[in-house]
Amino acid sequence: MLSSDSYQLVIEKFLQSLRDGTLKPNDKIYSENQLARSLGIPRAQVREVYAALSLLGVLYGQQGKGTFLGGGDIGQSSKILYLMTLTAEENFQDTLAVRRILETGGAHAAAANRTEEDLEALRGFARTIEESRDPQVLTEADTALHAQLLKASGNALLHGLFQIVVGYMARISLGHWTEILGQSPEEHLPDYIRQHWNLVHAVEERDGDRLHRLLVHHFDTLEKNMKVFR
């Protein structure tokens, strides 16, 4: 399993190389073997980090030539910021504060600009939350539902900013769902199911004011219950 330390080491190596001019956008990057030896970590872990960076567009491959660093100002890239959140300790209060700003701020745009495709996706995630009792599945559906709300806003930057905190969010959410299912699912689960469906219905009705109020209530509930569980 890939450790957060491996992410930290590889990302810091790239950032340091950018700062000192050793590596520039569109340069060919270190081979997996080179970086593994340099950082003292297994090659398999370097490969996993490279794969993650490639999926995010930070790296790109050219058949027969190797792997290259993406163009643009990588040091300021939100993709690098996202990866760096994977290496940090969970901070529930900070994460919740950012989510409040992003999601409530995008509520009216999501309600106004949503498409039928957005609604279909939101309903699917809400059904999964209603039907599943697997913490990992619930975490994935919960995270995807909130990401879809911001995607529905039509604001790509807003949706991109949300992706920066999604690493934190998923880890905290997994612990939250595990606690709910392990301690008192009958007390908390019906309310969480209802809250997610209410969010979907507000988007469906294009009611931005209601969606905003529901999101505020949702985050208030999360904060209250996380304090109880901790």
**Tens of pLDDT along 135-192?**
989 998 999 999 999 999 998 878 877 877 776 777 778 888 888 888 776 777 899 9
**pTM attached to this predicted model:** 0.65
Q: Whole-angstrom Cα distance, residue 186 to residue 63? A: 54
Residues 70 and 133 placed together within one structural domain of the fold = no
Residues 209 and 101 placed together within one structural domain of the fold = yes
Residue among 218, 205, 142, 217 nearest 178 (CA): 142
Strands (E) across the chain are located at 59-62, 66-69
Q: Which of 27, 51, 81 is the last residue of a domain?
A: 81
Predicted local distance difference test score (pLDDT) of residue 51: 77
Q: How many CA atoms lie within 13 A of 46 on its CB side?
A: 20
55: pLDDT confidence band, cut at 50, 70 and 90? low
Residues 59 and 103 placed together within one structural domain of the fold = no
Q: Which of 81, 108, 128 is the last residue of a domain?
A: 81
Residues 179 and 225 placed together within one structural domain of the fold = yes
**Tens of pLDDT along 68-107?**
887 655 444 555 555 555 545 556 787 888 899 999 999 9
Say which CATH number the domain at 169 has: 1.20.120.530
Say which CATH number the domain at 68 has: 1.10.10.10
User: What are phi and psi for residue 111, nearest 5 degrees?
Assistant: -65, -35
Residues 58 and 98 placed together within one structural domain of the fold = no
Number of domains in the chain: 2
201-225 mean pLDDT:
95
26: pLDDT confidence band, cut at 50, 70 and 90? confident
Residues 24 and 132 placed together within one structural domain of the fold = no
Residues 144 and 115 placed together within one structural domain of the fold = yes
218: pLDDT confidence band, cut at 50, 70 and 90? very high
Contacts of 66 (CB under 8 A, 6+ apart): 28, 29, 31
Q: Which of 81, 112, 143 is the last residue of a domain?
A: 81
Q: How far is the CA of 4 from the CAs of 58, 180, 214, 227, in angstroms?
A: 18, 26, 34, 26
Predicted local distance difference test score (pLDDT) of residue 88: 53
Residue among 184, 189, 175, 191 nearest 226 (CA): 175
**Tens of pLDDT along 106-146?**
999 999 999 999 999 999 999 999 999 999 899 989 999 99
Its domain, for residue 41, covers: 4-81
